[in-house]
Structure 1
Amino acid sequence: MVTFDHRDPGTPEADWARCGALHRAPELELAGVDRAVVFAAHPDDETLGAGGTVHRLVRQGTEVRVVVATLGENSHPDSTTFTPQQLAALRREEMAAAVHALTGEGTSPVFLSLADGALTEEQLREPVAEHLAWVEQGEKPLAVCTWERDGHTDHEVLARTVARAAGARGVRCVQYPVWYWHWGSPSRLPRGLVRVPLGDADRRAKKDALAHHVTQVRPLSQRPGDEVLLGEHVLAHFARDSEHFVVSAPDQAAVFDRVHSDSEDPWAVDTSWYEQRKREVLLGCLPRPHYERVLDLGCSTGALTAALARRAGSVTAVDASDVALRAARARLDDDAAANVELVRAVLPAGWRDEWAPRDLIVVSEMGYFCSPEQWDELLERCATALDPEGHLVLCHWRHPIQDWPLDGADVHREARRRPDLRRVVSHRERDFELEIFEPVPREQG
């Protein structure tokens, strides 16, 4: 079990209060959410990280289920006053009272009663799937869990399990930091952050719920080992007028198979003037009339792929969706099909070493469907795969991307920060941004 020195003040709340990025974070869309499942690793996680949001959801009529993985019996390992079993019993009662304060007397938490400090994905997989199946029955479901980079093993294992399962089902998932506010800093703010403003009633309910976690907000006794865990310097982080969450990246294959199954042309690439014009602008901005080996990432139904094939020796077109690739295969005429290879791969995990080197790599309307970590890895893969005289093309929608961690500005910003790439073409207008990069010669890197 990862533990913190709770006597250490960590990052003062005053520093976070001055962090403009927290206040500027986009608001999480909760309108229409009719079912939500909130996962906690220990009793009090849900109250600290998402208590106000739970109360706000209940106020708007959302059916909310709270699931806690452990009873937090190891919160005071050096206590001589209570055994772990006694603490588990106390924390179970506290959790029930806190959830009642947030959701109403008729709602009780679901206790998995797994071992505190020893959670594994294997033991969590089945119960997580069960509760996601429940929330998935809603018209607009939402899964909420701890953050996978929170610095506590249980928090991170639970988050990974929930995020992967929710992503595969296409259920929107957000993660709440708890200990990050203690050990982190405004300069290390995670990307993909969103906020939920809290009303006075939400904040009062959260405060009342926290007061029920007596074993955490008060000392067990005056004896050594019974010290308070959630002192005022810790609780200050959770008295804000908003709560913050990190958006999880859904599973690309599951999402885009569904999107392409629901519509033959989900992005209107054949009928939208925006799509047609964007392709022509991209093709017109390419620095060379012909490329030998092209990599088209996120090819969807192949409209851009077909155009690139007419200016290339060969094209490898990649998409996460089998449904999209079948449409792309049907689109390509005999001439284009002769020099196009269609590959199903979820990137960056499915990257193939055989794709390097390439003298043109195109990432159009695809980068923001990655998590921040995935996009960093994919950028690295692309930069490394580029021929010394090759080009990397990024082209993305400039407006907010609902329910995904990144947007177009994030995607392009990270590319511009790379010391091994330099921009040679830049085109920005109201709806999309197009940038073309080339490798920086090693002696200049």
Structure 2
Amino acid sequence: MSFDHREPGTDPADWTTFLDGLSPAPMSLDGVGTVVVVAPHPDDETLGAGGLIATAADLGIPVHVVLVTHGEGSHPDSPTTSPDRLRTIRAPEFRTALGILHPTASATLLDVPDGGLREHADVLRAALTERLERVDGPVLVVAPWHGDGHRDHRIAGEVAAEVVSLFPGTQLLEYPVWAWHWDDPDAPAAPWDRARSVTLTAEVLDRKRAALVAYPSQTRALSPAAGDEAIIDDRHAAHHLRPVEWFFAPPTSRSRESFDAHYARKPEGWDFDGSWYERRKRAVTLAALPRERYRSALELGCATGVLTAAIAERADAVLGTDIAAAPLVQAAVRAPTAHFVQASLPAEWPAGRWDLVVMSEVGYYLSPADLDTTIDRVLASLDDDGVLVACHWRHPDDDAVGSGDAVDARLAERWPRPALVRHVEEDFVLSVMPGPTVTSVARAEGLAP
């Protein structure tokens, strides 16, 4: 997504008409012990969650803001104000605005280069993890919607979702900032089916307005010169100064309907046969298996059965499952000795015991709760000499609920034994998780003590 903030963008009145037709679930802070807000740039916390922060203050709920950058890249074409100067201006503005919203709120400033969060995602990941480890009680994390259209917003949203998935019981809400400007209410890209609303009192809205005014470097022109225009003019501000603040709840597990629609468009699903990436990844997966043969194998999310056919050459019995019916027809042709069943994980779990379970490119389509349940069910149905092989893509996927790295990290955290194999490269991560009696290949063959 690319946009130009200097363009007028979507008329706020058009959004008003659209929002009036929604019936969102209200977001309550009842039971929330702490709110942690991730702000990629100074003012994002005010624009996206200022009302929530002020409401938390009135309820006596602590708030901590993780400010990722100093926002020094807000005026790249300014002839009068350098990025270094903007750094010194925007940090004090942030502290003033936050004090207006929540006088006792705390903050961490990470000093990541503006526009460079993708290259420094580990800095945010570590800081957010440390903050959540230090907080007692129920936590609400508020972060940018990853589809907001700004590079830093996307990475901040993805990192927040990944970290939150590692802390069961922690809630996540995502806020839009630039989507109000570029999105079209007649055909919205934002996930309004997951909308949550926070109604602001008149006093809270006044504080949010005052906090936004505390950012003159963004709400006023730096000078009359071209390149010094206000970033948040009155038209932009109108999107954010409504009596209701809008958030998106995190996605649930990817639906059966979405997979059905995918296979209706692309009957082969993904290019499993033609892509060298897919063929190589499949070879790496098979090479990682610590035994030559298996008694009973379960493949979760078998798709069109390309990997299933290879597993069937090394297992006496194979069961493949997929959430969609269409690919199973092709899978039955590719792997005629295997059995297949349509099943939505983890609710429709197949009966049986397995000494091999394969979960390839599936885990990041599951919600954190469903992923945890899937791991538990694998553990409960895996023989002592069995292994789980999990392989996942590491790049962004707009259809995914989480990330491959988050799935691998959660698997390592919940599995009772260390990985037998862990292979990480830029494109994918593969782990082999062993049962209690599994040993190394050399020890199993008597080659090592």
- Please provide the CA RMSD for this pair: 3.5
| SS across alignment from 1:24 | coil
Partner letter of residue 25 of structure 2? P
| SS across alignment from 1:128 | helix
1:245 aligned to 244, 247, 252, which one?
247
Partner letter of residue 215 of structure 2? H
Rounded Cα–Cα distance in structure 1 between residues aligned with 2:21 and 2:74: 30
Shift of 1:221: 1.3
Rounded Cα–Cα distance in structure 2 between residues aligned with 1:329 and 1:114: 44
- State TM-score, norm by structure 2: 0.59
Rounded Cα–Cα distance in structure 1 between residues aligned with 2:71 and 2:2: 12
Aligned partner of 2:159 in structure 1 is 161
Aligned partner of 2:375 in structure 1 is 322
CA gap 1:344/1:198 in 2 versus in 1, 3 angstroms: farther
Percent identity between matched residues is 32
CA gap 1:299/1:88 in 2 versus in 1, 3 angstroms: closer
Rounded Cα–Cα distance in structure 2 between residues aligned with 1:229 and 1:173: 28
| SS across alignment from 1:237 | helix
Shift of 1:175: 1.0
Q: Extract unaligned runs of 5+ from structure 1.
A: 253-290, 310-315, 331-340, 351-370, 376-445
Counterparts of residues 4-43 of structure 1 (less than 5 Å): 4-20=3-19, 23-43=22-42
1:373 aligned to 373, 380, 399, which one?
399
Counterparts of residues 33-432 of structure 1 (less than 5 Å): 33-104=32-103, 106-119=104-117, 120=119, 121-134=121-134, 137-170=135-168, 171-186=170-185, 187-191=187-191, 192-249=194-251, 293-299=340-346, 305-306=350-351, 320=371, 321-327=374-380, 373-374=399-400
Partner letter of residue 323 of structure 1? D
Check whether the contact 1:297–1:317 (CA below 8 A) recurs between aligned residues.
no
CA gap 1:165/1:5 in 2 versus in 1, 3 angstroms: same
Check whether the contact 1:298–1:317 (CA below 8 A) recurs between aligned residues.
no
- State TM-score, norm by structure 1: 0.60
Shift of 1:317: 11
**CA distances 1:381-402 after superposition (whole Å, capped 9, x unpaired):** xxxxxxxxxxxxxxxxxxxxxx
Shift of 1:107: 3.1
Q: Extract unaligned runs of 5+ from structure 2.
A: 255-337, 360-369, 402-449
Check whether the contact 2:147–2:190 (CA below 8 A) recurs between aligned residues.
no
**CA distances 1:306-352 after superposition (whole Å, capped 9, x unpaired):** 4xx8xxxxxx998743333444579xxxxxxxxxx997879x979xx
Shift of 1:118: 1.0
Shift of 1:87: 0.8
**CA distances 1:241-262 after superposition (whole Å, capped 9, x unpaired):** 111112224899xxxxxxxxxx
Check whether the contact 1:167–1:251 (CA below 8 A) recurs between aligned residues.
no
**CA distances 1:404-442 after superposition (whole Å, capped 9, x unpaired):** xxxxxxxxxxxxxxxxxxxxxxxxxxxxxxxxxxxxxxx
Shift of 1:54: 0.7
Check whether the contact 2:110–2:123 (CA below 8 A) recurs between aligned residues.
no
Check whether the contact 2:179–2:190 (CA below 8 A) recurs between aligned residues.
no
Check whether the contact 1:10–1:182 (CA below 8 A) recurs between aligned residues.
yes
Shift of 1:129: 1.5
Rounded Cα–Cα distance in structure 1 between residues aligned with 2:75 and 2:233: 14
Check whether the contact 1:98–1:213 (CA below 8 A) recurs between aligned residues.
yes
Aligned partner of 1:266 in structure 2 is none
Q: How many equivalent pairs are there?
A: 297
